[in-house]
Amino acid sequence: MAENNSLRTQKLLVGIFSILLVIILIIVAFVEMKVTRDAKPVIEISGVNKNCVTCHTQKGIAVKAIDHWKQSLHAQQNISCVDCHTAKEGDFDAFYCPESDFLVARHPTPKDCAECHEQQVQEFSASKHAHQFWLIKNTDRSVFEIPIATKNGCEQCHHIGNLWPDQSVGECDACHPKHTFSKAVARQPETCGECHVGSDHPHIEIYLESKHGNIFRAQEKKLDLNYATKNNTPIPIDIPVCTTCHMDGNETQPMTHNVSERLAWESQSAWSFRTVWLEEKIGDWKMKRSRMEAICKSCHSPEFAEMYLLTADFTNLQYNEIRRMFVRWTKKLTENGTIKRLEKDGKFYSDPVLTGWDEVPEIAMYHAWHHEGRRFRHGAMMMGADYTQWHGIWDIQKGMVEMLTWAAEKGDSEAKRWVESTDPIKFAPYALFDIPGNPWGINVLSNTLPYVYNAYPDYWDLIYANVKTVYDHNLLSEKQWQMWEKKYKDKEHYLGYKYNADSVFKYYQDLDSKDTKAFTEQAVELKLPSKPFWIW
């Protein structure tokens, strides 16, 4: 009996040790796999480049730049210091390294990058990134701002379109950081947000507010943005970052460094207009829109993508009519002498339609374009509801009220009539655009909200005429016109007129009445026993 127990004990111990051995082997294998996976590539440095690295390291000069380079694909491919910093006598940025007779370039330019990345540099040079309007139309900066303010302000971002003495254009490391030139960093939304941020173009804020940005934040730690885009392959990540829509490719679209190839509107300018930028090479606005739609349709249904973009198109068209109203008033007030222009020795330094700064209508008009006008348009195109609404159209309308109130105070009779009017339609002193319904679905209450829907029996006839006009002027495609006309002909469906939800509406009205009673009793009608400490 004792012998049997001993045998069983031995078997049990053998089994336990066997299990432990398997566990240990699994752990060792996992560690080895991790070590292999995390192993850093061997970087070979020789010749002149070794001299650069040795000298910089010994003197403690830009040592981190060397560490960053060692992390790069350049380093793995033995592309080293002098390959990018090569210089010839007479080059604009050539200098001799201290304590050496070695000539190097201080500023590698896109011309240098093109030695290996010719296609990318050519694509970039054909983009609006390479052509910054501040180089040509910088009146607001050169008059209203002092020069030193632009050095670390405007110029820091707009350097992406720098025109170099060697006649190359751009700054590759504006997106790909020195010296890693990381694709992952270039794709990180906050990299675009270094410049596309703030009151006049808050694209990073709009993106992070949108569903796209919301999902990105939820899954950011799981993403590897260091992927290589290959033609005719699916987007390798499940959610879009900035480059997904504007640069990366999918099954039908090639990757591009020309961020203008998919833009159908010039919507940062004082007026929205369909893009004509290099259309002889990259196609007209319809071609550019088709490229963007092809990317959208990687994730969204065709109907949703097309409806959403069409609705955003109407935001651009609507902005133009609001802009037209501001132009009319600033011109009128300038011509009658109410607005004074900045001038010296017969030369005007302000255009009241663009960059006037010292009187209320000029300031309101500039902001209605350069700030809230851009937010209104870009919020609509990038799914940023708050920027379309409260930071966009609401602030535009506020500027309009300030302008017309100022004009009335200065004695303009037309402005006085506007201020004194009690008709709610006075807040739309311009032509309107609209579309029955929205991309999200049918809301049976939406038709009860806008004042104009109920006050003007011919509202949709007027809208039809406006939409038909912009279609006739090639501002909408045939496909877009057909989509809009389909919704117009069946607007009772898309606006929810033909559906009855009175019982549901009454249920929520009753709940709201309960809320109203509560705040009335608890706040509005509450009387405290003490008197005010300040006696009016």
Q: What is the pLDDT of residue 39?
A: 57
Tokens read off for 69: 């380079």
Amino acid at residue number 403 = M
> What value does the mean pLDDT take over residues 380-388?
97
Which of 491, 470, 469, 484 is closest to 307 using CA atoms? 484
* pLDDT tier, 446 (very low <50, low <70, confident <90, very high otherwise): confident
Q: What is the pLDDT of residue 315?
A: 98
**pLDDT tens, residue by residue, 148-168:** 888 888 888 988 999 999 999
Looking at residue 357, what is its pLDDT? 79
Q: Which residue has the higher pLDDT, 518 or 78?
A: 518
Handedness of CA 483, 488, 490, 491 (dihedral sign): positive
User: At residue 258, what are phi and psi to the nearest 5 degrees?
Assistant: -95, 100
pLDDT of residue 136: 55
Q: In this prediction, what percent of the chain has a pLDDT beyond 70? A: 92
Q: Say yes or no to pLDDT of 111 above 60.
A: yes
**What average pLDDT does range 109-130 have in this prediction?**
95
* pTM higher than the cut 0.85: yes
Res 3 pLDDT > 90: no
**Predicted pLDDT of residue 36:** 47
- Other CB atoms closer than 10 Å to residue 159's CB: what's the count? 13
Task: Name the residue with higher pLDDT: 385 or 356.
Answer: 385
Mean pLDDT in residue range 418-446: 95
Q: What is the mean pLDDT of the chain?
A: 91
The CA-CA-CA angle for residues 417, 422, 427, to 5°, reads 80
pLDDT digits (tens, 9 = 90+) for 283-300: 999 999 999 999 999 999
What digits encode the pLDDT tens for the residues 24-69?
Answer: 766 766 656 554 455 567 788 888 889 899 999 999 999 999 999 9
pLDDT digits (tens, 9 = 90+) for 187-208: 999 999 999 999 999 999 999 9
Read off the pLDDT of each residue in 232-246 and give the average, rounded to a whole number.
93
Q: Are 372 and 349 in contact (CB under 8 A)?
A: no
pLDDT of 88 reads 92
Q: Is the pLDDT of residue 11 over 90?
A: no
List, for residues 135-150, the tens digit of each pLDDT value: 555 566 667 788 888 8
Q: In Å, how far are 79, 242, 328 from 361, measured between CA atoms? A: 57, 36, 11
Measured CA to CA, the distance from residue 182 to residue 486 in angstroms comes to 47
DSSP string, 56-75: HHHHTSSHHHHHHHHTSHHH
